[in-house]
Amino acid sequence: MLAAELIDPMLPALKPTDLVGQALAWMEEHRVGQLILTDQGDYRGIVSEELLMDVADDERPLRDVMCLFEQIFVNEEQHMLEVLGLAIQHQMQVIAVIGEGREFSGTISVNELLKKFAQDLGVQEVGAILILNMNERDYSMAEVSRLIESNNVKIISSYFSSAAFGMPDRSRLTLKLNRRDITPVISTLERFGYRIEAAFANAPVESIDQERLDLLLRYLNT
């Protein structure tokens, strides 16, 4: 999803002639702590509730108030992950979207952006979550996918987290799967040398050791 598709049409843009009290009222109405300031269609920065609360005169125009993030915005064609990364880096609640001619296109609510990101990750889908611990040089999504799909299980979403510097064997691959019972998946992955750090599922997850013990007991009873 691109930035232009993430614009929230309900969020207003402030003007330099708007008053501090009016800006605070709009922030309260829309439950945000920041709003975009524009001047004749051009992006000028972000007005913060925290800074406005320190202004003694509610009738003071916003042109006299300090703005934040004057040089921080996204283009209409930037991907959702780029927008999210920028928001997290600068701890922003809203982000301005700028068009090809550098005109202001609209505002992205970071709160709504996080909801859309969670939906794209499939967090609302029923299924297990599996975390693999691995050496970064051994990471191959193609191989992991092949092993998991050999059990008729699909990967809904995945996230690879690189290890801290000097700890190459502590990288993590987090997988959201489309099945609750992932005991066969765990058995397959462990058989091919993958280390399972954690598994979260609505159905009980048995270890490969328990499975081997059950097979041994059945063999001895025959």
Tokens linked to 164: 């801290």
Predicted local confidence at residue 28, as pLDDT:
95
Domain map (residue ranges) of the chain: 3-118, 122-220
How many angstroms separate the CA atoms of 41 and 176, rounded? Answer: 43
Q: Which residues contact 109 (CB under 8 A, 6 or more apart)?
A: 8, 11, 32, 93, 94
Question: Percent of the chain, pLDDT > 70?
Answer: 86
The least confident of 95-109, 180-194, 199-213 is 199-213
Predicted local confidence at residue 215, as pLDDT:
53
Q: Which residues contact 44 (CB under 8 A, 6 or more apart)?
A: 16, 37, 38, 67, 70
Predicted local confidence at residue 171, as pLDDT:
86
Instruction: Read off the pLDDT of residues 127-177 as tens digits, 9 standing for 90 and up.
Output: 888 999 988 888 899 999 999 999 999 998 888 887 666 665 678 899 999
> pTM to 2 decimals?
0.70
Q: Is 80 exceeded by the pLDDT of residue 220?
A: no
Predicted local confidence at residue 203, as pLDDT:
53
CATH number corresponding to 3-118: 3.10.580.10
The architecture of the domain spanning 122-220 is 2-Layer Sandwich (3.30)
Residue 134 DSSP SS3:
strand
Residue 119 DSSP SS3:
helix
How many angstroms separate the CA atoms of 30 and 14, rounded? Answer: 13
Distance between start and end Cα atoms, the chain? 58
Q: Is 60 exceeded by the pLDDT of residue 190?
A: yes
Instruction: Read off the pLDDT of residues 9-32 as tens digits, 9 standing for 90 and up.
Output: 999 999 999 999 999 999 999 999
Higher pLDDT, 101 or 58: 58
Tokens linked to 199: 């598994």
